[in-house]
Chain A
């Protein structure tokens, strides 16, 4: 092993796994097992005490998931990662690791609809109060912070509004308040943006999207940036002896990955939102081509956005990759390789034309996932953001005519052909 700093592409393929010492297997072995044999009673006790490193039970750790975790930590530039059963579970775990009843979260209001509900309903039910702020002015986060606030939360590129966060400005607000910034990096992936390098402290990803890349598995992951001083007095759960884990002090014992360890042994271990080893395997396979896929996703999306922008049946296109987007400058700064492949546009003729468009596509799939090799189309107002009232929908950037697409990896001309023919039909319906 050498001290060479390997490139991102190399890490996509190699980080977290060297050939299996027992079998020589070059591919990532799938350890489809619930539990692991101990060497002796003493060894078992040491593992349970966290005195030794090793496997106990797949709810808590698994060697295949370990490869996925380490690879994600490497790609995001963090110290450690924790795989979880879904993106939603990753978000919830990232918060529960450092917040209890009485604490507050200040979050961007432009969020994936499910996340908005998780914060607005579930966190409030647990007595964790959430203040939603317009993320476009980083000062809004500062104004909402109280002495009970324990984290700031936002998406790199929000779902579905597509606004790009000024991560450095918000990270500065968090740092000055002595609280961590948690970023959902799902739409950018570490290939397009590495929030920790811009000052974020914790990154969560829904692995279901681009990381998987093929629409086969639900999963999530949180990454510990290793760059937050947990001993600043606000986080006794990180510095005081743990009740759930025989008096361990997580920050003192595990240093710059103490947050990830607490998330694992005090939240995942007892809440149980574990990821299946087989899904971890599929995610490691996805990561091996993340770089190549993202390049293609981005270039095709930009071409399609330009095509729609010039199309007579299209009212507006909202994509940070287009030069006239208010988020173009931020996008160039934080995602220089491309603005992703998920964006919205408004079809002329409102909700009816939108419905006809979605019913008329032949290649785009009508469903609610994003970040698949297949191109996807959805109508947020009637699906992902349905649980929100109209005012909340507006603040999340969803209007009745909004159509969201996730551009896949098919032949670009075929995708343009499909949208063109469906747009033509949508306008006939209107007339």
Chain B
């Protein structure tokens, strides 16, 4: 499920990302990642009961409150907090559950897969985007990309 092909396709096909646990604090990883994805053309929907607005986008207290379709639910929460978020993701008809670096929950992932969602765990959206669509190689990161195509 986490093959490089899958991740690349997810980031190419889906453009609306609800970021659960997005911080308004500019030097937190969640803020970094969301700001980066927004700058690369993705629609960011912040989900955090503590804020009215982040990155100029209206912030919702939970996934269930979001009035528009969501493609990717990107989770910046501890692994043990994942299951109810996955339940909400299934309920709102999201296409992908994406757990960030160090976030993993196999049972919740299984439940999401059974409901027809794709699951990515222990990966950063920003890093994966940089891996396939540019830039991260300037930091010497091993992208695992080998191709003779431009």
Contact = CB atoms under 8 A, between A and B. Distances in A.
Interface of A: 1-3, 6, 10-11, 14-16, 18-21, 24, 46, 49-55, 61-63, 65-67, 69-70, 73-74, 78-83, 241, 246-249, 252-257, 260-261, 264
Interface string B7-20: 01000000000000
Among A14, A52, A53, the most chain B Cβ lie within 10 Å of the Cβ of A53
A70 B143 contact: yes
A82 B138 contact: no
Chain B interface residue bracket vs A: 20 to 34
Interface string B101-127: 110000000000000000000001001
Among A63, A74, A252, A253, the most chain B Cβ lie within 10 Å of the Cβ of A253
Given A2-B5, A20-B150, A51 B35 contact: yes
A2 B9 CA distance: 12
A78 B135 contact: no
Given A19-B150, A248-B27, A255 B127 contact: yes
B145 interface: yes
A80 to B, nearest CB: 4
B97 to A, nearest CB: 19
A18 B150 contact: yes
A256 B101 CA distance: 9
Contacts of B132: 1
A18 B147 contact: yes
Please provide the 10 A-B residue pairs with the shortest distance between their CB atoms, ordered closest to farther: A53-B135, A69-B140, A73-B142, A255-B101, A80-B141, A247-B27, A53-B130, A253-B29, A66-B138, A81-B140
Contacts of A20: 150
A395 B132 CA distance: 49
Contacts of A253: 29, 32
Nearest to A80: B141
Contacts of A74: 142, 144
B146 interface: yes
Contacts of A51: 32, 35-36
A74 B141 CA distance: 9
Nearest to A226: B142
